[in-house]
Amino acid sequence: MLLTGAQILVECLKEQKVDTIFGYPGGAVLNIYDELYKNSEHINHVLTSHEQGASHAADGYARSTGKVGVVVATSGPGATNLVTGIATAYMDSVPMVAITGNVPVALLGKDSFQEVDIAGITMPITKHNYIVKDIDDLADTIREAFYLAQEGRPGPVLIDIPKDITINKTEYVKKVPQKVEKREEIKDSTSLDEALALINESKRPFIYAGGGVVTSNASEELIQFAQTIKAPVACSLMGKGGFPGEHPLYTGMVGMHGSKASNIGVTKSDLLIVIGARFGDRVIGKADSFAKNAKILHIDIDPAEVNKNIMTYRHIIGDVQVVLKKLNSQLEEMKRKEWIEEIETLKIKHALKYNDDILSAQYVIEKLYDVTKGEAIITTEVGQHQMWAAQYYKYNKPKTFLSSGGLGTMGYGLGACIGAQVGNPDKIVVNIAGDGSFRMNLNEIITAVRYKLPLIVLIMNNHVLGMVRQWQTLFYGERYSYTTLDQDIDYVKLAESFGAVGFNVTKKEEVEETLKKAIEERRPVIINCEIDKDDKVWPMVAPGAAIDNIMLGD
């Protein structure tokens, strides 16, 4: 069948069972958009307000559904506007395919109008990328891109397609996509026996679970593993939801804003079992003091992460779900009563606390959990509100907490919220934001209104860049350099001007009723919560300090 490049692209998307893409049209992708118009009954295209918003929407769609997120942008500035979203997905191992247009092949490298070397720009932040210079290579390139985005450790892949490739014709033969299989092999089989011996010998095992647990769908296996070996479990930010937040063995986050039970537990453990995590600097703090009493057993699919930041005692390279299944099949239930009681005492003694006399973000988030019965999908921007959302909403299921962990992208949450709501139309989806982050991409409220998405934006409005101000208070002599946002913005009027619904919350007594009203609206809602500018995220470990050296804000 003789088809144009644009037609081949759309047919390949259909091969991959892509039913939703996010994007923004432009000159270099006009032929692609013409074919999307003709195939609108097969592929739902969500037009965002900005390409960055489209990239975050594709990311949120992927994280919440487990499918590949797809984003399309034109050449030049359209392509470069995707860069932050691609880097966000790369840092957090999110499967995404970014499709960009470019100038015709003959004009590449000649500083043509709206030309950039987007493949060169994104090389460090993609699993792989392509410039398709021959129409005969297009179909197989698209198929390979989707496979690579999902196989092993997921991540973003970029396909750059010059405009003349979308016009040229070649024979297209439909193919069944290569099935993405889990990697069943474990690179060193003896490491399993060594791991079992370490677990059986340990008196104080502790589990540190990361985003790999969520990515590999290993939540049930992790629960069984922890219950069998009687080990407390702490999560990284990306691991939230990988282990139930209400489980008796759960101790909270670990690291800079981790719970005291988690940080002390890691420090006191004699065996730290690290599952699908990369030892980020915000977790380990002072590297030579991290888990100083423990042998470290690291389980991860990516060998590049092993011994990168922290030296391990033993490691297992393999898919987390596969490895846990093999371990579970060979373990017998253990008894570690004294260790569990010690951790439980720490949890009770050092439970999270906040000033209950005033309206606070912590109170709002706890009420949100109650009102939604813990069933919502939560996205966040980046800052204090992000940490409060991680601490005070209990995530009992994977793929319900979507946040930019590795890159820390302010402006991520609203786009991700749109993507998650599109992918999960029957779910309550809430973006927890700070006023600083919200301003970065608030134009995407227009997108939510256009598509009648019943998402909720919950702004924790302290009129400052809260996390930066917190650091300025603690480490910079209270010199608040350009962190005060003193514009008096009426967020209710802002919401209404876009066609959304707005609420102001200034008292604790208004929170529950307002949240219930917002859910009942079934259309985009912005809730502005006025909180104190000097409220801080506690606990906190100072940068470079050992994680058991914890400031509690007393």
Could you read off the pLDDT of 506-531 as tens digits, one per residue? 999 999 999 999 999 999 999 999 99
Question: Cα separation of 397 and 310, whole Å?
Answer: 29
pLDDT in tens, 465-498: 999 999 999 999 999 999 999 778 999 999 999 9
Amino acid sitting at position 285: G
Give the residue-averaged pLDDT of 444-459. Answer: 98
Question: Cα separation of 453 and 122, whole Å?
Answer: 31
* 3 state SS for 246-307: CCCCEEEECCCCCCHHHHHHHHHCCEEEEECCCCCHHHHCCHHHCCCCCEEEEEECCHHHCC
Could you give the 3-state DSSP secondary structure of residue 361? helix
Question: Cα separation of 41 and 43, whole Å?
Answer: 6
Tell me, yes or no, if the pTM score tops 0.85.
Answer: yes
Q: Which bin fits 182, alpha (ψ -120 to 50), beta or left (φ > 0)?
A: beta
Catalytic residues: 51, 113-114, 163, 467
Question: Cα separation of 356 and 183, whole Å?
Answer: 49
Instruction: Please report, rounded to a whole number, the percentage of residues in the chain having pLDDT higher than 90.
Output: 97
- 143 contact partners, CB below 8 Å, separation of at least 6: 12, 15, 16, 175, 177, 178
Predicted confidence (pLDDT) at residue 218 exceeds the cutoff of 80: yes
Could you give the 3-state DSSP secondary structure of residue 145? helix
Q: Where in the chain is the domain with CATH 3.40.50.1220?
A: 190-349
Q: Where in the chain is the domain with CATH 3.40.50.970?
A: 2-171, 361-530
Q: How many residues are recorded in the chain?
A: 554
Domain at 190-349: CATH code: 3.40.50.1220
- Tell me the C-alpha to C-alpha distance, in Å, between residue 277 and each of 233, 290, 307, 309, 393: 13, 15, 12, 11, 21
User: pLDDT band at residue 155, thresholds of 50, 70 and 90?
Assistant: very high
- Tell me the C-alpha to C-alpha distance, in Å, between residue 532 and each of 345, 411, 483, 538: 31, 22, 14, 15
Residue ranges of alpha helices (H) inside 290-427 are 320-330, 337-349, 361-372, 384-392, 412-423
- pLDDT for 503: 98
Question: Cα separation of 361 and 377, whole Å?
Answer: 18
Predicted confidence (pLDDT) at residue 189 exceeds the cutoff of 80: no
Average pLDDT, whole number, for the chain?
96
Predicted confidence (pLDDT) at residue 187 exceeds the cutoff of 80: no
Encoded tokens for 408? 């820390």
pLDDT in tens, 375-410: 999 999 999 999 999 999 999 999 999 999 999 999
DSSP 444: G
Listed residue (279, 312, 291) closest to 194, CA to CA: 312
User: Could you tell me the fold of the domain covering 361-530?
Assistant: Rossmann fold (3.40.50)
- pLDDT for 86: 98
Question: Cα separation of 411 and 422, whole Å?
Answer: 18
Encoded tokens for 499? 């066609």
- pLDDT for 184: 83
User: pLDDT band at residue 539, thresholds of 50, 70 and 90?
Assistant: very high
Give the residue-averaged pLDDT of 535-539. Answer: 97
Question: Cα separation of 41 and 315, whole Å?
Answer: 48
- Do residues 118 and 100 make contact, with C-beta atoms less than 8 angstroms apart? yes
Give the residue-averaged pLDDT of 232-237. Answer: 98
Predicted confidence (pLDDT) at residue 412 exceeds the cutoff of 70: yes
Question: Cα separation of 88 and 95, whole Å?
Answer: 11
Domain at 2-171: CATH code: 3.40.50.970
Encoded tokens for 351? 């439970």
Question: Cα separation of 141 and 12, whole Å?
Answer: 10
* 3 state SS for 295-317: EEEEEECCHHHCCCCCCCCEEEE
Listed residue (434, 384, 391) closest to 413, CA to CA: 434
Strand-pairing partners, residue 457, are 431, 526
- pLDDT for 446: 98
User: pLDDT band at residue 236, thresholds of 50, 70 and 90?
Assistant: very high
